Amino acid sequence: MSEEVKKVDNKRTIDPAALAVLEQKGGQIETAYDRYVKMQPQCNFGEQGICCRICLQGPCRITKKASKGICGAHDYTIVARNLLRMICGGTAAHADHTRHMAHVGAMMLEGEAPDYKITDLQKLYAVADRIGISREGKSDLEIFEELVEMAREDLCRFEAADEEAARWVSKSIIPERVKKLEDCNVMPRGVFGTIAESIAQTHAGMDADPVNLIFQGLKTAVADFCGEHIATDLSDIIFGTPRPVVSEANLGVLDPECINIAVHGHNPLLSEMIVSAAREMKPEAEKVGARGIKVSGICCTGNEVLMRQGVPLLTNFISQELPIMTGALDAMIVDIQCIMPGIRAVAECFHTRIVTTSGNVKIPGAYHVDFVEENAMDKAREVITLAIEAYKERNKDRISIPQIKHKVVAGFSLEALLELFKAVNPENPIQVLTEAIEAGELRGVVLLAGCNNLKRIHDENHLTIAKGLAKNNVFMVATGCAAGACAKAGLLTGEAVEKYAGDGLKKFLYRLNEANGLKEDLPLVFHMGSCVDNSRAYDLMTLMARQWGIDTPKVPYTASAPEAMSEKAVAIGCWCVALGMPTHVGVYPYITGSDLVNGIALQIAEDVYGGYFMWETDPEESVDRILASLDERTWKLRVHKQAAEKYETALSTGW
Ligand code: BF8
Ligand code: SF4
């Protein structure tokens, strides 16, 4: 048994609010923290990815005695197949979300979704221009119609080689990357077609070549990027592009005087409606003696409504059961993805209603209100009524809310970031960032992304890495539960800049504060949104590459998923690599059972794509390795620039 397994206990968190709940009620009420302990030791075959059960002759496990599966599959085939299937799972989850957004777009055009409207015309125009839709002589609705149609084409195109490449990929990234993806045969045409192709390729008796399988994995991951980008764009058009907003985060946002509703999941189509309906239904809440209705968010739907509506963030993935244990949560309304089935059993000990809303996410014993877009607001009112009913059953003596929360400054879409840079350089905003890197004021950019995973101590990797990078003058953007960890710990504030930033980062951020004359200082970490909004973070890298006139593998920009958990995170990590980013992951993926596959991820990927993976579980070491990945690129960029100036040639395109 490893050291790590031995010291496991059921209080694996550094979030003081989560810890307070676990210390008070942990053990009596079972949570993920307890189940993690019970699950030890975990299966070594699964851990290394060398268990195959894709046909009924299995499970086949690779051992010294049995070095191949019954069909003759080597470890490398099994590992690569399993990995490709994980990428498919993640890509399908995002694509399902995107399909829903595009479907509602089509319903809006038919007048069948009256509670939704185009909120952000500027974003509609910007996306149309990027994707190549001519706006001349067309009404706004006609432009939207073409855009929705094009999104559906990107989702649905067959994978025939003579078809057009997915537009949200080919028109969103730089031409050098398009060429690279085409040359390597990893440019997807349609998202669903790519997923089908990959699942077929991994069927028993199909592809046994690990390199071919991994390349297909990268193609599928790029299809994931496509799906995510469409979701971000449509959400912005329908609900508005985020602008800076001040709010709060952590369990202390629960208000004992109010009816407390948590929205949890990923889909803003539902959570936006809940937020509006809750504002409207205050009189109903007052009738039962509450001061009002307080909505707060969990996971990425929480990020969506924080970014656009300033709704407080309650907690992130692994601690999702704990708000129920405060006794003050009246309803948890869930939509899709990252919903732990365990919430239902915890809710059984309290008055909290768990309400599922999506046909493909049901939990036995939970309330289910089928969310139909035709009457979205009515459905939102219906679920809020369940919360009001639950409030009447609340036992005040059981309420115990940790008084821990932090201010949060969020809402940094790429548009919002550029707006801030514009105050310093109106002609060329992105230059504010690239010049600060060239001057050595900043060391580069890091995207803090991904989930929570109890293989690490809850939030510890996220926070140690964020603080370590801040000290070393790294400009940080964040998404998903990584952003949630930073929000709960107060890193999305100006005070955190004072406390943790190195001199260069301080100077950079203070310059922006001053130029913008902001009421609220800019934060240490810039919250860019949910996990589909990693597309925003990549657009930032694209802009930097364009400014320097280089391909992305030369841009000092690294991604880090310190506590990665979901298949979606695997898909995201893989497109980060294919699109040119060094990508740190703080949890070992299930591929270490094949040196060949692991070697491709760690080394060969760089030769081909310029991006590569780094596995590092120790947070301090992670900081060093992430910094080294930035420094290598900054150094090369400088050398190449000097050479180009000296010899009056174009900047080298290699990396
Ligand atoms: O999409 S970071 S645990 S909530 S998968 Fe899930 Fe991971 Fe959180 Fe959002 Ni993203
Ligand atoms: Fe075993 Fe091959 Fe079947 Fe996998 S596909 S379970 S390795 S026989």
- Structural domains of the chain in order of their starting residue, each with its CATH number: 6-61 (no CATH), 75-239 (1.20.1270.30), 251-398 (3.40.50.2030), 406-646 (3.40.50.2030)
User: Measured between alpha carbons, how far is residue 199 from residues 156, 196, 204, 588 in Å?
Assistant: 16, 5, 10, 23
For ligand 1, the distance from its centroid to the CA atom of residue 646, given in whole angstroms, is 47
Q: Rounded to the nearest whole angstrom, what is the distance from the C-alpha of residue 13 to the centroid of ligand 1?
A: 17
Residues whose CB falls within 8 Å of the CB of residue 316, separated by 6 or more in sequence, listed in order: 298, 299, 452, 459, 481, 484, 485, 488
53 alpha carbon to ligand 2 midpoint, in Å? 6
Nearest ligand atom owner, CA of 454: 1
Sign, CA torsion 126/128/132/136: negative
Ligand 2 centre to CA of 86 (Å) is 17
The amino acid at 227: G
- Pocket flag, ligand 2, residue 630 (CB < 6 Å): no
DSSP label of 604: I
- Measured CA to CA, the distance from residue 625 to residue 21 in angstroms comes to 35
The pLDDT value given to residue 258:
98
pLDDT digits (tens, 9 = 90+) for 35-61: 999 999 999 999 999 999 999 999 999
pLDDT score of 552 = 97
Ligand 1 is surrounded, with C-beta below 6 A, by 266, 299-300, 317, 338, 450-451, 480-481, 530-531, 565-566, 568-569
Cα(547) to centroid of ligand 1, in Å?
A: 31
Give which of 572, 619, 334 is closest to 449, Cα–Cα.
572
Ligand 1 center–CA 97 separation, angstroms:
13
Alpha-carbon gap, residue 180 to 16, rounded angstroms: 46
CA dihedral 625, 627, 630, 634 (to 10 degrees): -130
The preferred substitution site among 56, 57, 206 for testing ligand 2, maximizing ligand atoms within 8 Å of CB, is 57
Ligand 1 atom closest to Cα of residue 449: 2
**Which residues are CB-contacts of 403 (< 8 A; sequence separation ≥ 6)?**
252
- Measured CA to CA, the distance from residue 116 to residue 126 in angstroms comes to 20
Please name which of 105, 217, 205, 201 lies closest in space to residue 153, comparing C-alpha atoms.
105
| pLDDT of 7 | 60
Beta strand pairing call for 245-249 and 60-61: unpaired
Q: What is the DSSP letter of 74?
A: B
C-beta 602 within 6 A of ligand 2: no
| Closest CA to ligand 2's atom 6 | 58
How many Å apart are CA 7 and CA 2, to the nearest integer?
9
- Indicate whether residue 58 lines ligand 2 (CB < 6 A): yes
Provide the pLDDT for residue 134: 97
Whole-number pLDDT of residue 5: 46
Q: How far is the CA of 87 from the centre of ligand 2 (A)?
A: 20
Tell me what pLDDT residue 200 has: 98
Instruction: Please give the pLDDT value at position 294.
Output: 98
Say how far apart CA 221 and CA 223 lie, in whole Å: 5
Ligand 1 atom closest to Cα of 480?
2
Structure tokens, 114: 């009256």
- pLDDT < 50 stretches in the chain: 1-3, 5-6
The pLDDT score that the predictor gives to residue 635 is 94
